[in-house]
Amino acid sequence: MRVIIPSALRSYTGGQSEIEASAATIDELLRELDRRYPGFRFRIVDEQDSIRPHVKITINTEIAGSLDAPLRSDDDVAIIMAFSGG
């Protein structure tokens, strides 16, 4: 699957705005990204395993409701810095 990386997280990915990965759920995907890019996951998921308030993750443009959301190999996943009123 294709994963779109927001500018705020590209310091972790060496500047890459898109990366390829495979995972069965959002949680599995973020753990895989954290293995590749240490520190990545904690910036967008807190210690109680909640997606941080101003971060959204979409699957084919639909907002994923939780880290348990399932993924398919041809999905487009985007990590988005949410609009927060300004």
Partner 1 sequence: MKQTKAKPRRAASGRARKPGVALLVATRKGAFVLRSGADRRAWKISEPLFLGHIVHHMVQDPRDPRVILAAARTGHLGPTIFRSTDFGKSWSEAQKPPAFHKAPEGRTGRVVDHVFWLTPGHPSEPGAWLAGTSPHGLFRSQDGGATWEGVDGFNENPKRPLWCGGDPTPDGPKLHSILIDPRDRDHLYLGLSSGGVLESADGGHDWKTLIQGLDVVAGFDASDQRVHDPHCVRLHPLAPDRLYQQNHCGIYRLDRPSEKWVRIGRNMPKAVGDIGFPIVLHPRDPDTSWVFPMDGTEVWPRTSPDGKPAVYATRDAGHSWRRLDLGLPRENAWFSVKRQAMSADDLDPVGIYFGATHGEVWGSRDEGKKWACLARYLPHIYAVETARLPR
State the residues that interact with partner 1 by CB under 8 A: 8-9, 38-39, 42-50, 52, 54-55, 81-82, 84
Whether the CB-CB separation of 11 and 35 falls below 8 Å is answered with: no
> Closest CB to partner 1 among 42 and 76?
42
Minimum distance, C-beta of residue 6 to partner 1, in the bound complex (Å): 8
Report how far residue 71's alpha carbon sits from residue 69's, in angstroms, rounded to the nearest whole number. Answer: 7
> Closest CB to partner 1 among 38 and 65?
38
Task: Tell me the two tokens of residue 73.
Answer: 């190999």
Residue whose pair of structure tokens reads 């487009």 in the numeric block: 76
Minimum distance, C-beta of residue 50 to partner 1, in the bound complex (Å): 7
Minimum distance, C-beta of residue 62 to partner 1, in the bound complex (Å): 20
The CA–CA distances, whole Å, from 78 to 18, 20, 60 equal 9, 12, 8
